[in-house]
Amino acid sequence: MKTEIIALAAAIAISISTLGPAIGQGLTAKSAMESIARQPDAAKDIRSTLIISLALMEALTIYGLLIAFMLVAKI
């Protein structure tokens, strides 16, 4: 019984930690493309800020994966 709960917790951890940043990355990329379309001169600044913010959002997913690995290691 304990192993099933840990496995379920690992699945929930990875699914939630993937869902949130995925939605955030989509909205961020959409906003960046709209901003570049409005002001093409600022494309370089917008692009660099976009890449940094996407990397930080991806770190959240990696933290969830790490937690899932730690939970699975307890099985």
* pLDDT tens-digit readout, 17-65: 899 899 999 999 999 999 999 999 999 999 999 999 999 999 989 998 8
Q: How many CB atoms lie within 10 A of CB 8?
A: 11
DSSP 8-state assignment for residue 74: T
How many CA atoms are closer than 13 Å to the CA of 56, on its beta-carbon side? 7
What integer pLDDT is reported at residue 75 of this predicted model? 74
What pLDDT score does 40 carry?
A: 93
3-state secondary structure of 39: coil
The yes-or-no verdict on residue 1 having pLDDT over 80 is no
Write down the pTM of the prediction: 0.77
Residue spans of the domains in the chain: they are: 2-73
Homologous superfamily, domain 2-73? F1F0 ATP synthase subunit C (1.20.20.10)
User: What is the Cα–Cα distance from 51 to 38, expressed in whole angstroms?
Assistant: 19
In this predicted structure, the answer to whether residue 74 has a pLDDT above a threshold of 90 is: no
